[in-house]
Chain A
């Protein structure tokens, strides 16, 4: 942690807001970040009541605000600022894909679900591209999205992965980890972890389908399409329609995802198989969306969004998620509606029988605060007397 972070951490919000408005670019970045963290701390302390202080912060931050940085093949985050809101496209595809993809994700949440960014209070969307060398991955570090360039360090004939910004659903996936962090905050192990992963796949694929104008029945439901090079026998990283069929390659191996509870894999790696067993709830979502036809984000997506934001808790398992989507469908579309029947069918097809808990009302918000973003939060908390 740099010394500059500590300085900003001890400044009161009104000073930080001034810096956010008038400071240099670097100062603005740090001030906005610390304002956001401070707002979170106040949010925990004062409950869910909307306070004047929080409104001030929201006013300063609300709306679509994106910045894309370049790690220049290092591990340093966030890196060099390359493009911000209102800036023209660059000549770097990774930068522009990260910018456009985070914009499309913001738009899905904002225009369809009336949510202002990942924290619902306009948190700026930061992305870093060109992370390390030969980095075959993308991740959410608790505060921002990070993308590698795939196997760019190898001769073309040996490459398995392209750059990770190439698939817009991966961008939606990573951003949704942020949304989940601020909402249900599902723990990253076993079934709650696999639900966490599945929810990221669900909203990631909705970003993709919405950007392409595809209906549920016209979409291919492939996550990470275009990410594998032509050297690999595969169509993408995961199939929500048919988990376990996305790739089967001599070097990469075969897609390990199950699509039914009978094939659930209890494994000692990947936090209990969070990227593996996510195939089960993924397929349930696909089946619901396919049954309802039309645009998946409008009905199935709305049921899942209501479930994520109002009904799941940190330790919810697949059964709890199934029950919660059933209750959400009832509240949104009515008891016995086609939507509610579709939800019941979707989960049943993957081996989970929905239980009508009779609980139409969402559970109260958790008493524990969500996982804290990394940074200077301890300093801020100590100043507030935590």
Chain B
């Protein structure tokens, strides 16, 4: 599974991105990410319009089993089930290993 993540906006306004290929991760980390994608029912999520002021805007692209799916959302529009994945990917942008 490949994931491209982009977060922009927010009070800071500075965009951050990362690209993750689960095959390059240790097995437990890869499994944790795949579990987060599944728990979010990611491939069933709908795009949502930007709302409010200073909210983060997220773009998440997941490629798995020859399916590529993109979700664009914001803090208050994103379902709770997606939040752990957003946080995990945000932290991965801080690592030079994944940031792009």
Chain A residue nearest to B94 in the complex (CB): A251
**Provided the pairs A75-B76, A75-B83, A177-B53 are in contact, do residues A136 and B9 lie with their beta carbons within 8 angstroms?**
no
Residues A275 and B12 in contact, CB atoms below 8 Å apart: yes
Other-chain residue from A132, A170, A274 in contact with B13 (beta carbon distance below 8 A): A274
Size category, A interface = 35 or more
Across the A-B interface, give the 8 residue pairs with the lowest CB-CB distance, nearest first: A275-B13, A269-B8, A139-B54, A177-B53, A141-B52, A140-B53, A139-B55, A137-B10
* Docked complex: A127-163 residues within 8 A CB-CB of B: 132-142, 153-154, 160
Q: Say yes or no: is A256 at the interface (Cβ < 8 Å to chain B).
A: yes
Chain A residue nearest to B95 in the complex (CB): A251
A-B contact count (CB 8 A): 97
Q: Say yes or no: is A260 at the interface (Cβ < 8 Å to chain B).
A: no
* Docked complex: B10-48 residues within 8 A CB-CB of A: 10-16
Chain B residue nearest to A181 in the complex (CB): B53
Nearest CB of chain B from residue A170's CB, rounded to whole Å = 7
* Docked complex: A323-349 residues within 8 A CB-CB of B: none
Chain B residue nearest to A139 in the complex (CB): B54
Residues A133 and B53 in contact, CB atoms below 8 Å apart: no
* Docked complex: B56-100 residues within 8 A CB-CB of A: 56-57, 75-76, 80, 83, 87, 90-91, 94
**Provided the pairs A75-B83, A133-B87, A271-B50 are in contact, do residues A139 and B11 lie with their beta carbons within 8 angstroms?**
yes
Q: Say yes or no: is A164 at the interface (Cβ < 8 Å to chain B).
A: yes
12 more CB-based (< 8 A) A-B contacts, given A139-B75, A255-B14, A275-B10: A75-B83, A132-B83, A134-B91, A136-B12, A137-B10, A137-B11, A137-B54, A137-B75, A253-B16, A273-B13, A274-B9, A278-B13
CA–CA, A134 to B8, complex, Å?
Answer: 16
B residues within 8 A CB of A173?
11, 54
Chain A residue nearest to B10 in the complex (CB): A137
Taking Cβ atoms with an 8 Å cutoff, the residues of A that contact B are: 74-75, 77, 132-142, 153-154, 160, 164, 170, 173-174, 177, 188, 196-197, 200, 224, 237, 251-253, 255-256, 269-271, 273-276, 278, 374
CA–CA, A75 to B84, complex, Å?
Answer: 12
Q: What are 25 A-to-B residue pairs whose CB atoms are below 8 Å? A: A132-B75, A134-B90, A137-B11, A137-B12, A138-B11, A138-B54, A139-B11, A139-B53, A139-B54, A139-B55, A139-B76, A141-B76, A142-B51, A174-B53, A237-B11, A253-B14, A269-B15, A270-B57, A271-B50, A273-B13, A274-B9, A274-B13, A275-B9, A278-B13, A374-B51
Q: Give the interface centre of B10, B55, B57 by most chain A CB atoms within 10 Å.
A: B10
B residues within 8 A CB of A197?
13
Residues A174 and B83 in contact, CB atoms below 8 Å apart: no
Chain B residue nearest to A200 in the complex (CB): B53
Residues A136 and B52 in contact, CB atoms below 8 Å apart: no
B residues within 8 A CB of A196?
53
**Provided the pairs A256-B14, A275-B9 are in contact, do residues A188 and B53 lie with their beta carbons within 8 angstroms?**
yes
CA–CA, A137 to B57, complex, Å?
Answer: 12
A residues within 8 A CB of B50?
188, 271
Other-chain residue from A74, A200, A252 in contact with B80 (beta carbon distance below 8 A): A74
Chain B residue nearest to A252 in the complex (CB): B14
CA–CA, A3 to B13, complex, Å?
Answer: 36
CA–CA, A137 to B10, complex, Å?
Answer: 6
Residues B8 and A136 in contact, CB atoms below 8 Å apart: no
B residues within 8 A CB of A138?
11, 54
Nearest CB of chain A from residue B81's CB, rounded to whole Å = 10
Nearest CB of chain A from residue B62's CB, rounded to whole Å = 20
Chain A residue nearest to B93 in the complex (CB): A251
Nearest CB of chain B from residue A350's CB, rounded to whole Å = 18
Nearest CB of chain A from residue B2's CB, rounded to whole Å = 21
CA–CA, A251 to B12, complex, Å?
Answer: 14
**Provided the pairs A137-B75, A271-B9 are in contact, do residues A177 and B14 lie with their beta carbons within 8 angstroms?**
no
Residues A140 and B54 in contact, CB atoms below 8 Å apart: yes
Q: Give the interface centre of A141, A253, A374 by most chain B CB atoms within 10 Å.
A: A141
CA–CA, A321 to B50, complex, Å?
Answer: 25
CA–CA, A255 to B13, complex, Å?
Answer: 10
